[in-house]
Every structure is written in C-alpha cells, then in structure tokens.
Amino acid sequence: MNRRFTMDFKDKPNTRFKSVDTLNKKQAAEEISALREGINYHDYLYYVENSPKISDSVYDKLFQRLEALEAAFSSLKTPDSPTVRVGTEPVSKLDKIEHKAPLLSLEATLEQDDIESFLKAARKQAHKKSITYMLEPKFDGLSVEVVYGHGHFEYGVTRGNGEVGEDISHNLKTIRALPLSLQRLDNTPALLAVRGEIFMPKKGFTALNKQRVERGEEPFANPRNAAAGLMRQFESRHVADKPLDIFFYEILASDGDLPSTHQDILERLSHWGLKSCPLNKTASTFGQIEKYHHKLAGQRDDIDYEIDGIVIKIDDHGLREALGTRERSPRWALAWKFEPREEVTMVEDIVVQVGRTGILTPVALLQPVDVGGVTVSRATLHNEDEVHRKDIRRGDRVRVIRAGDVIPEVKERIKQPGKKRGKPFHMPKHCPVCDARVVREGAYYLCTAGLSCAAQLTGRIQHYAARNAMDINHLGAKSAAELVTHGLVQDLADLYTLDAKDIEHLEGFATKSANQLQNAIQERKEPRLDRFLFAMGIRHVGRHIARVLATEFRTLDRLANAETQEFAQIPGIGEEIATSVANFFADKKNQSVLNRLKNAGLKIQPMPKRREHPLTGKTFVFTGSLDGFTRDEAKEQVEALGARATSSVSDETDFIVVGKNPGNKLDKAEKHGVKRINEATFQEILDES
C-alpha cells in the first residue's frame, strides 16, 4: 500500500471519516485510492483465501464511504473500482471479441482403457517411464477468457466457438472472487490473458431456485444453465446479487516469462490473487489417477460446486508442445468423466410453492439428476401428508421418477444407515411469499391473502394470459413476475392500463418487446364467455366446467347474479364447485376487478344458443401425438360439438383417439372395450358433425 497515506484500510481500518464536504479533490483522490486497495485486499481474503480479517459491518462502512466519495467526485470514478460490482449501465448487445489464444475443448471418456492409452502415448513421446500429471476436477460451469492490462481488469469473453466469444465484461465485474486489480502489481505482465470457469455454488443455486419456486417461476435446470444465463444478461444489476464464483486454471497469453510447468502456473495465478481449485493434485501413475477419480466421484455430492469428472493434464509444458493439439482439443490433456447420476439424488431443501389459487405445495429441490434423458432439479411432494408418508427430509437420498413421463416426483427415500437425518418437514403457519395466515382444508393448506399475495397474483396473471384462456402473447411466467414485483399490476384489470414505457424498463424487455406486450393485451378484449370464465382462475373451474357454466347461463351478468342452488342443479356441477363459483362472484374485491375490466373496454361475448349435436353426451380420450391438432385443440373441437374430453379412460369413455406413440391409456381402453379410432376417422367425425 502507498504509505504516503495516513489511512490504512488493510490491517486496521479506521472508519471515522471526515465529512465529504470538507475534502478537496486531491484529498478525495488519495482516500479513494486507499479505500479501493483496502477493499480489494479484503475481497481477496474473503472470496479467495476464505480468511476474512474484518467484520461485515466494517467492510460495509468502507464500501459505503467509497460510494459516497465517488458520488461527490464523479470524475475520480474508474472502471476498476470495486463499486462497479453492484451493477453498471446496461449494454445494448454482447459484442464479439477474438480470443488472445484459442480456448480448446477437451476430449472426454468414460472408459479406463482410454486413460491407459493416453498415459502410454505420453510416455512414448517423452521417452520416459514416468511423467508428472496435474489432476483437476472437471467443472460443469462456463468457460471464459479474462484479460488484464498492467494488472488491471480490461475485459472478459465467453468461450464461444473457441476462437471468438461474447464480451461479458459488465457481468464478470460483479463476481467478487474475480480481482479487478491483481495482487502484487509490481511483477504482473503488461498483458495477461487467463482462462477460468464461472460456476454457481450448490448452496447458492438451491437458494436461488428456492426464491424462484416460491414465486411460482420455473427453476433453473442446473447450476451451469443458471450461470450461463446470468452471464449473458444485458443488465449487470440483475447479476450483481447472484451467487457466482470463478476458478482460474490456465494462462492463455502473456508478454512476460512463464513457468515451465502447470504446477508453477497455478502457483503464479494464486500469487496474483487469481483463485484456483484447492482439489488440484499431482500424480505420476495410473493407480494414483484412478484413486483420485474414485475419490472425487464419491465426494461429488458433498463438494459445493458441480463436477462431472476429472481432467488429466501433462505437467511439463515442453512435452505439451511436443505432443501438440488436434483441430479443437489438446493431445496433452484428457477428461475422465464420472458415470452420470440417474434417478438417485439428494434433497438439498424442501420449499413451499404458492399456486395461483393459494394452495401451498411442498417441492423438493434436488441435486440435478438425469431422469429419462431430462435434467431434473425439483420434484413435487404433493402435500404434507405425502411427505410424512414417504418420510422425506432435507439431506435425504431419494429416487426420482417422472410421473406419466412428465412431472418429476419423489418415489421413495433410500435409507442411509448411520447417517444423521434432517428434521421432519412441516407446512408453514404463514405464507412464505406474503406472510399471510395459512389455513388447512382437507389435505391442502391455503394462503388466505388472495390476490394481495404476489405469488397468487403472478400465477393468476399467467393463467389469465394462457392460450386456452385469454390467449395473450408475450405474457408468460417471467413477464408476469416482473409486472407484480415492480408494482405495475396489482390485479388483472391493471393489465389494460399498462404503458409500454413502463414495461420497457423491466428485465428482459426493450422498446419493441414492450410495445408487443401492450398491443397483445389490448387485442384480447372480446373473449367468449367460457374462455373468460376459465381465465378468471376460479377454484375448481377448469375448461370443461367453464364451458358447462357458460353454455347454461350464456352471459356474464346472468352467471354473476346466479345463486349457489342454481349452479348445483346443473348436471356435473357438484356442491363444492357451486359454492366456489357463487363465492367468487359474491366477493366484493372480485366484483371490483370485474367492473374495472368492463370499464377498461372488455366485452365478454355471450355463448351461442345451445343446440343438440351428434356428439352430445359422448366422451373422448386422446393418447399419443396428432399431426393436425395439438391436444388442447382436439379437446376444444369435441367440446364445441357437445362432447366431453377427459384425460383418463373409464367405463363412460366412448372413443379413444390414437395418435403416434400412444401411452398406456390404449391398453386400459382395450380392457374397457372402448372404441378405438385413428386421427383420420376422428377428422371424419368432426366433419360430419
């Protein structure tokens, strides 16, 4: 540290600061320089060395002081200041940059024979019986090139095609483990290009997915997808608070002298404050390599970042040059992958998701696992009774299946004798999203806050905009969550007062996409009654019940003014559904929303007069994929003709329509004697009707 300054923000930080107003520019510059050096030093201790020397509160005071000085003396703020980590101005696009040296990929294998052949070829080339290898975990992250000029961060680039990548400098700066200025600047080269791997620690990934699931958003599939998606954001403020980390493992280019071995390269990187993996190890025999592979394979569930194998690198750089490279991969390195996880994984946490109707559902957040070719990171636990019946707890190993080849669920717990288990799961007494009181109804728990609960409102908006409801393009789960989070929509009627200028400031939007969403909303103002009724998300009212009610009452006014008993008298409408519909229209908040929707210009189209169809009273079931219809379109066709479409086969089923790759419904239909028809016959029936 430059000892011209009396301030020492490294060893014994003094947080008694003079008022900013009393400092001149020169004094401010000196203090800013000292603060930056001190903050960078403590970032290094905390994020790289894992040995902090000051408390979080002292660190915060130093950081806040630097922010205050840079705000007062804006000309003194520089691109390598620690304050840029909290987010900078958004970029308009990700520019392409050519790498200083090619970022090669690795050949990978699962076979032991390939490893032995690799070692034999290396010994033959070196004319030695023994060679030193560097063993490293194979990270399942995002490979990047980071370039420093005279020890200061200049830019960072994704791997891309290995020759050219995308500039993600604005997002890289937010990663605390990445130094904006290297340690020991006195011996850093003028140009230094290093390769690293960005990753998201498992704990951070679980916490991030927990937030997403609780808000009703789709969780990230795995930590790598999360890291890659975040790094390609245009606005770094959306990245700054995310749990990202980085390891460095290679020097790509430098105008200084470089060590002759990989071991020394890693030491040099650490010397400059560039964090390398603590699991790196040397070996000289196949037995040692096999032992390392076996050890890490057994530890992979306990390591706080995803690895999917090990990397074997020849340590000596002279021998590397002799071996050379193939077109896209080096001959001096090979990845020995682990067998992929299949079906069995660990429960990282159990969180509670709040649905659009207020039902609370426990969800298991899992270490990502392959189930039938699909990466699964969460699975439904249905309800509290089901969790207790299977006795699923945090930290348990479980077997995961995809129910009906679609929805992942936990089938069973795998016992681990001798391992201490987590505490039994219990549903919360208050909503995890809005903290409202939770009540139990039968097997389910409900949040009592209604649309004042952000999760319910977000889910309700998403449902309202769905294809089978109001069919509003560009209004999916992420857009709905953004609208609610930023207070732009507090009930469904607010959708019709949205201004494109407000929308374009949300994450994922620009001027064009904001206008598209506003126009899409305004274009859907004349829905048919059954679609609107389904869109309102009334409990127990799906598409079929919505059509039955709409057909019976024909107009919204008649339906809204009906009594519970009138609903209950309709065939197929039981007491529970009747009460739910009557309560919805009797609720004053819902009445207010309906009036506001009407004032916003919504004109609900009445249902056509009911008439008998040839298909009235018939029941259809569909299995397999159809060429001319989506499943929902096929159902809508038969329902429009008076028939009913159900998802399961029973004695009441009249026809089963069989498409490509039918499921087990076909076997059940044959047992029940249901008439089987193909798509062509189904189309003929529709045409005749």
Q: Active-site residues: which are they?
A: 138
Closest alpha carbon to 239 in 148, 303, 169, 164: 169
58 is in an annotated binding site: yes
Contacts of 498 (CB under 8 A, 6+ apart): 483, 488, 489, 517, 518, 521
159 is in an annotated binding site: yes
106 is in an annotated binding site: yes
Query: In angstroms, rounded to a whole number, what is the distance separating the alpha carbons of residues 204 and 210?
Result: 10
First to last CA, the chain: 86
**Residue 101 to residues 94, 154, 427, 581: CA-CA distances in angstroms?**
20, 16, 54, 66
Contact (Cβ atoms closer than 8 angstroms) between residue 379 and residue 387? no
Query: Which H helix or E strand runs over 365?
Result: strand 359-371
Contacts of 26 (CB under 8 A, 6+ apart): none
596 is in an annotated binding site: no
Question: In terms of C-beta density within 10 A (0-12 exposed, 13-18 middle, 19 or more buried), how is residue 640 classed?
Answer: middle
Q: What is the sign, positive or negative, of the torsion defined by CA atoms of 167, 168, 172, 173?
A: positive
197 is in an annotated binding site: yes
Query: In angstroms, rounded to a whole number, what is the distance separating the alpha carbons of residues 487 and 156?
Result: 35
Phi then psi dihedrals of residue 349, to 5 deg: -165, 160
Closest alpha carbon to 182 in 194, 199, 171, 200: 194
Closest alpha carbon to 444 in 394, 387, 364: 387
60 is in an annotated binding site: yes
Strand stretches in 13-76, DSSP E:
none
434 is in an annotated binding site: yes
504 is in an annotated binding site: no
DSSP secondary structure letters along 550-605: HHHH-SHHHHHT--HHHHHTSTT--HHHHHHHHHHHH-HHHHHHHHHHHHTT--PB
Query: In angstroms, rounded to a whole number, what is the distance separating the alpha carbons of residues 10 and 35?
Result: 9
136 is in an annotated binding site: yes
Contacts of 84 (CB under 8 A, 6+ apart): 173, 180
Closest alpha carbon to 458 in 487, 428, 497: 487
The Cβ of residue 416 has, within 10 Å, a number of other Cβ atoms equal to 11
Query: In angstroms, rounded to a whole number, what is the distance separating the alpha carbons of residues 519 and 610?
Result: 33
Closest alpha carbon to 668 in 683, 689, 647: 647
Strands 307-314 and 333-337: antiparallel
Query: Which H helix or E strand runs over 214?
Result: helix 202-214
337 is in an annotated binding site: yes
Side-chain-side CA neighbours of 448 within 13 Å: the count stands at: 10
647 is in an annotated binding site: no
Binding site, annotated residues: 56-60, 105-106, 136, 159, 197, 313, 337, 431, 434, 453
Annotated binding site for Zn(2+): 431, 434, 453
Residue ranges of the annotated binding site for NAD(+) are: 56-60, 105-106, 136, 159, 197, 313, 337
